[in-house]
Chains A and B, each alone.
Chain A
Amino acid sequence: MRNTLVLLPLLALVIIVQLLASWTDSVFYLTQLTMSAYYSFLIIGLCVVMGYAGQISLGHAGFFAIGGYLSAALTTRNLVPFQDNVLVKLLDSVGLLLASKDVYGESLLVVTPWAACCAAILTAALIAFVIGIPVLKLKGHYLAMATLGFGIIIFRLVLASAYFGEADGISDVPGFTLLPGLTVSGNFQGRVQNYYIAWGVLLIGMVLLRHLIDSRVGRALRAIHSSPEAADSMGVDTARFKLYTFVLSAIFAALAGILLTHYNGGIGPSEASVMKSVRYVAIVAVGGMANLWGAMIMGIVLNFLSLRGMFGSYDDAVFGLILILIMLFAPNGILGLHLGQLRQRFALIGRKRPAEEA
């Protein structure tokens, strides 16, 4: 209950921001806030994996891309040439396909967004599960490299396959009607509506994860993080909990990818790039690793600044610098930093260390 109540002020803030933007005639800010909310949705999922289960993942852009690309491809690629295929016929009879005419009058047969969304999430979860079993047995550098390798494979695959549009990506992705009257799309009129959808999704995600962390699972995860051996001997099934959180975060990433792709009306290979994964890790680190609120706030702030183009051509460099500075001076995140602590750290650098600490 407490977890849910905390969200009320935030909900009020979300509404105030929207009203302010509408009154001051600067609704265009809502576009970036919507996109930031989706990126933050991925980031809070990653935060549970990194901060609470203690597993680094440098491949989350891969899951984001799996969600976005699958959903985009299924809702845009024409199935008319495969009309006689048994599978296509079956899907059509269950009502999962959508027939229409394109601008040239050609008939168009695509998968409905809901079905595509479910397929994309299932695929991402399945891949996370299959990859997760061996990967999560690894530790430290091995885990980092394995997840990085996974991310690169996804990047290469979307870049090299014609089905996913190669370097151009997929465009003209239709809107995603969640409920009648509630559509995720880049439509001009739907801007305010989409802002609320995105923030609604993010806040629901927050509630879910807060509850997860305060539950038995969360306690088990924290036990795993502080000492896997001790947790093991207390009867915590460490491997299973790590795997489940990994899959859960992959689902979060895929859903973020799906919704953002429908919102933007397209997706390109840069969404799958390693730099994106690194950026997500950086934001979780800045937020303080095991700090969902920190991850969410930093996710919104940094993504918003980046999307507004505040960092110019130094975008990636800014995130690299943030990573280094945070890890050097504030490994507990920027919110976990007190001024006195900072002074102490700087004093440490200047002072010559006693020999026995070397």
Chain B
Amino acid sequence: MTLELFIQYLVAGITYGSIYAIVAIGFNIIYNTTGIINFAQGEFVMLGGMLSITLLQFMPITVAIALAVGLTMCIGAVIEIVFIRWLKNPSVLRMIIITIGISILIREAALHVWGDNVRALPYFIGNEITSIPVLGARVSPQVLWVIGTCSLMVLFLSLFFKMTSIGREMRACAANRTAAILCGIDTRNMVTLSFILSAGIGALAGAVMSPITYTQYDIGTGLAIKGFTVAILGGLGNSPGAVAAGLLLGVIEAFSVSMVPLAFQDAIAIAILLVILFVRPHGLFGSSAAAGLKEF
């Protein structure tokens, strides 16, 4: 393998990896405040892409994306308020089935609204053939947009959780729910907020990646599985771990293309997930002691 080819695969891997990382962080945010894995996380990404493509007909691209992200955040809030907020101590099985049902409903609604065509946003800068040379390899500027946006999101999220008081309240909620209630934090609002936040980052990632990965009504399930793989790999609830694991999975996938047929690419990611689940259920970077304290 030549150096150019190597870099080409590496960049592709990092691009997909950063998208997986964002989906995984979306899982983590909700998991931390509620203990729920939101199986509809991938649908937020799809909605972000689809809504921006539709809104683009009426407004410039930046406004369209901003509005799409805002709308998806509203949808996230509505989902939490309608389906989850009022349940009293639901069992894990019940929550899994409810979020799976939600993801089916969103997907079917998308199918009826947008049809099953593959759509895409236009490239933010230039077009499909615009490229920037990087060490002999050719890289599309859109790839830099994806990587840059994802990095910025991770940066802002970590600042948000460390610096702002709302972020601290959410972390308190994650660390110890009862203690957070005793401190006067409205944990139920924090849960709604976590849904809004993860819907927002999912949608933004979905809009930015749309020009290169395309958007279709059913991309959510695949992304959710990859995102979950990454979340587990990095240790559930551990966001820096998710970034590392996301890049790892993305790069592995990108290089696997040169060895196995494309059709088996998904099977590889899932096989990795299964192996990780069997061998180290607390993830590569998570600690088994901490995992033991979790309910599930």
Name A's B-contacting residues (CB within 8 A).
54, 56, 58, 134-135, 137-142, 144-146, 148-150, 152-153, 156-157, 159-160, 274-275, 278, 281-282, 285, 313-314, 316-317, 319-324, 327-328, 331, 348-349, 353, 357-358
Interface segment out of the listed B2-10, B207-215, B262-270: B262-270
Partner pick for A142 among B91, B232, B266, CB 8 A cutoff? B232
Residues of A within 8 A of B188 (CB): 358
Chain A CB within 8 A of B120 CB: no
Q: Please classify the interface of chain B as helix (H, G, I), strand (E, B), loop, or mixed, using the class held by over half of its residues.
A: helix
- Is the pair B264, A160 in contact by a Cβ cutoff of 8 Å? yes
- Is the pair A146, B274 in contact by a Cβ cutoff of 8 Å? yes
**Given contacts A152-B266, A274-B221, A331-B94, could you give 4 more A-B pairs where the C-beta distance is less than 8 Å?**
A282-B101, A327-B97, A327-B98, A327-B101
A142 vs B263: C-alpha distance when bound (angstroms):
25
Chain A CB within 8 A of B105 CB: yes
A135 vs B270: C-alpha distance when bound (angstroms):
13
Chain A CB within 8 A of B160 CB: no
Chain A CB within 8 A of B109 CB: yes
Interface segment out of the listed B11-19, B44-52, B66-74, B82-90: B82-90
- Is the pair A275, B274 in contact by a Cβ cutoff of 8 Å? no
Chain A CB within 8 A of B133 CB: no
Partner pick for A141 among B86, B96, B103, B273, CB 8 A cutoff? B96
- Is the pair B225, A323 in contact by a Cβ cutoff of 8 Å? no
A321 vs B82: C-alpha distance when bound (angstroms):
13
Query: Would you give 27 A-B contacts (Cβ < 8 Å), ordered by A?
Result: A58-B100, A134-B277, A135-B277, A138-B281, A142-B277, A142-B281, A145-B37, A145-B228, A145-B232, A145-B273, A146-B277, A149-B225, A150-B270, A152-B266, A156-B263, A157-B267, A160-B261, A160-B264, A281-B100, A282-B97, A320-B101, A320-B105, A323-B98, A323-B101, A327-B98, A349-B86, A358-B187
Closest 4 CB pairs of A and B: A320-B104, A140-B296, A160-B263, A323-B101
Residues of A within 8 A of B83 (CB): 324, 328
Closest to A351 in B: B86
Name B's A-contacting residues (CB within 8 A).
37, 39, 83, 86-88, 91-94, 96-98, 100-105, 107-109, 112, 181, 187-188, 221, 225, 228, 232, 261, 263-264, 266-267, 270-271, 273-274, 277-278, 281, 295-296
- Is the pair A149, B86 in contact by a Cβ cutoff of 8 Å? no
- Is the pair B278, A134 in contact by a Cβ cutoff of 8 Å? yes
Q: Kindly provide the distance from the CB of B53 to the nearest chain A CB, expressed in whole angstroms.
A: 22
A324 vs B99: C-alpha distance when bound (angstroms):
8
- Is the pair B94, A146 in contact by a Cβ cutoff of 8 Å? no
- Is the pair A145, B277 in contact by a Cβ cutoff of 8 Å? yes
Closest to A355 in B: B181
Residues of B within 8 A of A357 (CB): 88
- Is the pair B232, A324 in contact by a Cβ cutoff of 8 Å? no
A107 vs B274: C-alpha distance when bound (angstroms):
43
Q: Kindly provide the distance from the CB of B199 to the nearest chain A CB, expressed in whole angstroms.
A: 18
Q: Kindly provide the distance from the CB of A344 to the nearest chain B CB, expressed in whole angstroms.
A: 13
Closest to B97 in A: A327
Known A-B contacts A145-B277, A152-B266; the reply to A140 vs B93 at CB < 8 A is: yes
Partner pick for B105 among A145, A148, A317, CB 8 A cutoff? A317
Closest to A289 in B: B93
**In the complex, which of the residues B109, B112, B274 has the most CB atoms of chain A within 10 Å of its own CB atom?**
B274
A331 vs B92: C-alpha distance when bound (angstroms):
12
A28 vs B54: C-alpha distance when bound (angstroms):
44
Partner pick for B97 among A156, A281, A317, A353, CB 8 A cutoff? A281
Partner pick for A153 among B87, B105, B270, CB 8 A cutoff? B270
- Is the pair B104, A278 in contact by a Cβ cutoff of 8 Å? yes
Residues of B within 8 A of A316 (CB): 104, 107-108
Residues of A within 8 A of B228 (CB): 145
Partner pick for B296 among A58, A142, A148, CB 8 A cutoff? A142
Q: Kindly provide the distance from the CB of B107 to the nearest chain A CB, expressed in whole angstroms.
A: 8
Closest to A156 in B: B267
Known A-B contacts A156-B267, A320-B104; the reply to A149 vs B97 at CB < 8 A is: no
A324 vs B112: C-alpha distance when bound (angstroms):
19
Residues of A within 8 A of B225 (CB): 145, 148-149, 152
A319 vs B104: C-alpha distance when bound (angstroms):
8
Residues of B within 8 A of A322 (CB): 101
- Is the pair B108, A141 in contact by a Cβ cutoff of 8 Å? no
- Is the pair B261, A313 in contact by a Cβ cutoff of 8 Å? no
- Is the pair B273, A146 in contact by a Cβ cutoff of 8 Å? yes
Closest to B104 in A: A320
Closest to B102 in A: A324
Residues of A within 8 A of B270 (CB): 149-150, 152-153
Q: Kindly provide the distance from the CB of A84 to the nearest chain B CB, expressed in whole angstroms.
A: 29
A357 vs B264: C-alpha distance when bound (angstroms):
48
Residues of B within 8 A of A139 (CB): 92, 296
A160 vs B260: C-alpha distance when bound (angstroms):
12
Residues of B within 8 A of A274 (CB): 221
Partner pick for B87 among A58, A156, A285, A328, CB 8 A cutoff? A328
A274 vs B107: C-alpha distance when bound (angstroms):
13
Partner pick for B93 among A56, A156, A160, CB 8 A cutoff? A56
Known A-B contacts A317-B104, A323-B100; the reply to A141 vs B267 at CB < 8 A is: no
A276 vs B281: C-alpha distance when bound (angstroms):
27
Closest to B36 in A: A141
- Is the pair B101, A324 in contact by a Cβ cutoff of 8 Å? yes
A150 vs B261: C-alpha distance when bound (angstroms):
19
Closest to A149 in B: B270
**In the complex, which of the residues B88, B98, B188 has the most CB atoms of chain A within 10 Å of its own CB atom?**
B98
- Is the pair A56, B96 in contact by a Cβ cutoff of 8 Å? yes
**In the complex, which of the residues A157, A321, A327, A349 has the most CB atoms of chain B within 10 Å of its own CB atom?**
A327
A327 vs B92: C-alpha distance when bound (angstroms):
11
